[in-house]
Structure 1
Amino acid sequence: MQEQLGFDFGAMPRKLVRVTPSKLANWADCPRRYRMAYLDRPSPPRGGAWAHNTLGAVVHNALKALFDLPADKRSPEQAVALVHRQWKNDGFRDQEQAAVYRERADGWVRDYVSDLDTSIEPVGVERWVSTPTSKIVAEGRVDRIDLRDGELVIVDYKTGRHALTVDDARGSQALALYALAARRTLRKPCTRVELHHLPTGTVSAWDHTDESLGRHVSRAEEAADELSLATDTLTAGGDPEILFPPRTGRQCTWCDFRRSCPDGQQAAPSLDPWAMLAP
């Protein structure tokens, strides 16, 4: 009777693959880098700090600390003070260069907070969210989750040198997975995702449909199938160089594992740690 109803108690349930947007991005960029970052033990040594990453981390941490304050304390001046409190010189050429970019960060957060309704109370700041699909558990940490008119909005801060567009918001797999995970974790509808680019003061937004979110999930599941198969085969004794080949290109310049990858060293020149800063 149980078999007639479609139950198969002899089959083991399929194990869901846990993925974050950063894991999926690492796999897509270079399987070898994925292996070095998540599978090799001990993990190969990583490169030093990059100044543009330091700059982005300081701004993110300052804005997180701002929303930890009571609403009446969230002033532009306080945001600037938090930049100074969070500041590090890691990756910059010298203290003089670091001071120039700290001043830029001051201006970015001052302008951003000046235009922001700081009375809002986000439902999540650096919030970890997670959701299962048929094949994966998609999870990750979201910069900010707002609640507007009963719906959740995913907010992602960006500090890169290039302005962003609606296509960037629409095409971001990370934002789409965050929207689904926030919907599941916080039990409220979520379709809107936003990229807040502080250097230009612009917001690039996209309103997803179930169909567009489904396309992102399908691509994530395909990648998870590939990386899971490669990982299982490696565990069974497979050749890591065949299962996790290098995918070389410009990205080899700033790869954390460049020093351990001769292919990457040949594919792209080395750069100074401050070379990715906007001029």
Structure 2
Amino acid sequence: MRIGVFDSGLGGLSVLREIRRRIPAANLTYLADSAWVPYGARSEDVIRVRSLALSRYLVYHGHDMIVVACNTATAAAVPLLRETFRIPIVGMEPAVKPATAATRSGVVGVLATVGTLQSARFAALLDQFGGDIQVLTRACPGLVEQVEAGELDSELTRALVTQFVAPLVRAGADTLVLGCTHFPFLRPLIETTAGPDVRVIDTGEAVARRVREVAQAAGLQAGERGATNFFTSGDAGASLGALRRLWDDAATLTELPAEYAGRS
């Protein structure tokens, strides 16, 4: 079984980690669209074009399933990908539903990108699950870039997390939703900033469970051993250090062909 996973950059590694844990025998391919990161600042048209290009690469190379490990790309492109390709497509969505069940104060904070918060998909989530609680949203410019640089505990990263998290906690939020796949890498810092009475929720584990369910329903078979390969649309040398900090020291990174990377 070959599963392809893509994100705007390295944030989707948080989802890949959960997929590897739950499906250890799968062969995993990760595409970091680092030449175009962050997606949150891009138009929906650009995100759709990039999602199609990355998906075509994965389909051409024989993958059985695609995981869009990005909330912004899921909102902008997953319906189009499902219309275009015949293999299963699994996307993301912010964990608003479990957060509404977890909150005691009735106030939930959502940390995400501008693209996710402005999407119709997120608005539909709020309509469906947010009726009985107060949902406070906070766009977090700069955090994606800190994770891409592997700066998980720097002075600037701490300052940004405090800037985004503290107002939500002061407003009564006792549950925080990590609405971007980059943010779980900052979870220890977010939890420390929020304090012990605030629960932090992300969707990586739930997505991995869904991937396993879809694989089983489609009859996809895993081999005895699973490899993990990493590709980038950007400069491999520029991203390799952060990849090794976020994944492991032995990871290698290959640049995508120009026609898939969107490079001229």
Fold shared per TM-score above 0.5: no
* Rg larger for: 1
Q: TM-score range by the shorter chain?
A: under 0.3
Give the structure-1-normalised TM-score.
0.24
Compare relative contact order (CA 8 Å, sep 6+) and give the higher one, 1 or 2.
2
